[in-house]
Amino acid sequence: MEGKVCKSCRIVIAHGDKCPLCGSADLTNKWSNYTIMLNAEKSDLAKKLGIKINSTFAITIKA
């Protein structure tokens, strides 16, 4: 899985230097494990991670 991850909302960003969700430029490529959220409003993991939209999110951010 390629891409950068927004440190504040964990979304995986394939292109660009800015988070499409929160507009943050604080991205990292040091992450591992990801989940593809298809049912964010019903998922316990989504609640735990604070995810509200369906997209790809990193589980572990290393830096």
List the interface residues with Zn ion, window 1-20 (CB under 5 A): 6, 8-9, 19
Dihedrals phi, psi of 45, to nearest 5 degrees: -65, -40
Nearer to Zn ion, 24 or 33 (CB): 24
- Number of neighbours of residue 30 by Cβ within 10 angstroms: 11
Alpha helices in 1-63 (DSSP H): 44-49
Q: Is 37 in the site for Zn ion (CB under 5 A)?
A: no
The two tokens of residue 1 are 């899985």
Least distance CB 61 / Zn ion (angstroms) = 12
What residues make contact with Zn ion under the rule CB under 5 A? 6, 8-9, 19, 21-22, 24
